[in-house]
Structure 1
Amino acid sequence: MTSKTTGTHGAVLEDTAPQDGDRPLVELRGAGKAYGNIRALHGVDLAVHPGRVTCVLGDNGAGKSTLIKIISGLHQHTEGDFLVDGAPVRFTTPRDALARGIATVYQDLATVPLMPVWRNFFLGSEMTKGPWPVRRLDIARMKKTADEELRNMGIVLDDLEQPIGTLSGGQRQCVAIARAVHFGARVLILDEPTAALGVKQSGVVLKYIAAARERGLGVIFITHNPHHAYLVGDHFSVLRLGTLELSAARADITLEELTNHMAGGAELAALKHELAQVGGVDVAALPDEQPEVPAPATAAPAGVASEAAAPATAASEAAAPDTAEGKA
């Protein structure tokens, strides 16, 4: 089963759906959001399958935050359909999304820096023991559970009593991911988890994103870094000014093509022109113009096809070595 998505610049790429017949955990069909006369999101299609990482990329103002808010239940969509397990839904609060197994890890991680790791792990959902009305925190069980869940995700901390603020940014991200998994998340939304991290800590977070995928979760990885997305992503959706610019499976697109769609060929060409005025800047690797995108095949009248086919064939033969190198 294959589908084709046409972006705002005419990009048409085949998207190969999973062959095991699994139903999307979360699906958006032509979804959009308008704030009065301002349309923040329009006509977005997105499907999140179990055991797959769906990367949503876009520059600032592309609509990524609005998309997160719709799926997490913070805002309601004003057009299109929002389906969970194949059934239309309209969440009114984030608790509705959590009840359906959709958890969001925001950039601030919703942690209290001065509290111990185990307290942050159960923040708002603490375990208690004893009869009502003198129930008290079951500290021993919370520490044991937090340690087991963190170890299941490959996170080993020597002291769960240390304030979570003393952990590195990557470690705090991993604790937030393990917490979401423990409380029954089936769909995990990660809002720019590597935005403020260094190279090493970004690698740690990407490793645990892959671990969440191996546990069968559907992961939505929001990022503006195509290199990070390509390391772990199974499907890529690029947003531009609130619309879907590109939707493609990993097998159908290279990192270079993803970067070009993310940045925009026209913007890169303009950047090259500006950088060319600065001495000592190598701009040879940047494209001269926006890369061509495949268009749907249409039947041409007899006589016209032969004239149009010759230049097209020559162009494809000339581009073949470059394409082969890019694919390799």
Structure 2
Amino acid sequence: MSVLSLRGIGKTFGAVAALTDIDLDVDAGQVVAVVGDNGAGKSTLVKILSGVHPPDGGTITFEGREVEIPTPAAAHKLGIATVFQDLALCENLNVIQNLFLGQEIRPLRLNDVAMETRSWELLRQLSAKIPSVRVPVAALSGGQRQTVAIARSLLGDPKIIILDEPTAALGVAQTAEVLNLVERLRENGLGVIMISHNMADVKAVADTVAVLRLGRNNGVFDVDSVSTEDIVAAITGATDNVVSRRARRGQS
């Protein structure tokens, strides 16, 4: 049974249909890459799952029960964490302060020792390469900042993590570092939704690729049995979702 299932999700903004009849399934320990051209509906889908926008129709099922996600707090409580592309880190604060910002450990006063211990636990869980949790985030590389943002998302023990363009604007070494983090999340049994434009990254870490085109599903592919060219063809509309259905039937 999938941890997260979407059926018939729709969202309109005035006369514009951003999403129409979207289906998506994410299992525990699975990385699902959601790809599509600009305007395909990826950002709207992320905002629906993170509680920013309510859907206009369809159902969201989480761990076997139908749910609503009216607010970001509701998404967090449910077990869905989102790491947005801008990361929302405070560069003048250190790693510990960023991890616990707004959710500090303080029975009576700030418990620095407990927060530092928990910070290292989270970073070790990701096999992260952070030299010190006392260093300001401004001194970290792009890959290390992404590490901090992902570690922060783990504080609520989520079941699903959404990564919005996690390797955008990163160099080769930093991209490899972030892709290793994605693999650690999968190994820890989390379901991961990765929004990406980078087909090399998708082929490197994803198990399944879900293509959106003009706000609709246009194919679900198994990464091991699909070529980059076929994925790009579905993104651009050179093929429609009939191709992906044939591919899936061939796998069964």
Mark yes or no: TM-score above 0.5: yes
Pair 1:228-2:201 in alignment: yes
- Aligned partner (choices 167, 184, 201) of residue 194 of structure 1: 167
CA distance in 2 between counterparts of 1:146 and 1:235 reads 31
Within a 5 Å distance, the mapping from 1:1-328 to structure 2 comes to 23-129=1-107, 135-265=108-238, 294=243
Q: How many residues align?
A: 246
AA partner of residue 210 (structure 2)? S
After TM superposition, give the deviation of residue 221 of structure 1 in Å: 0.3
CA distance in 2 between counterparts of 1:70 and 1:214 reads 26
CA distance in 2 between counterparts of 1:160 and 1:296 reads 47
Tell me the percent identity: 42
TM-score, with normalisation over the residues of structure 2? 0.92
Give the unaligned 5+ runs of structure 2.
Answer: 247-252
CA distance in 1 between counterparts of 2:103 and 2:94 reads 15
Larger Rg: 1
- CA 1:160–1:32: 2 relative to 1, 3 Å: same
CA distance in 2 between counterparts of 1:143 and 1:50 reads 29
1:34–1:41: 8 Å Cα contact kept in structure 2?
yes
- CA 1:148–1:295: 2 relative to 1, 3 Å: closer
Aligned residue for 1:323?
A: none
Give the unaligned 5+ runs of structure 1.
Answer: 1-22, 130-134, 266-289, 298-328
After TM superposition, give the deviation of residue 293 of structure 1 in Å: 6.5
After TM superposition, give the deviation of residue 138 of structure 1 in Å: 0.5
Q: After the TM superposition, which parts of structure 1 deviate over 3 Å for at least 4 consecutive aligned residues?
A: 290-297
After TM superposition, give the deviation of residue 183 of structure 1 in Å: 2.2
After TM superposition, give the deviation of residue 125 of structure 1 in Å: 0.6
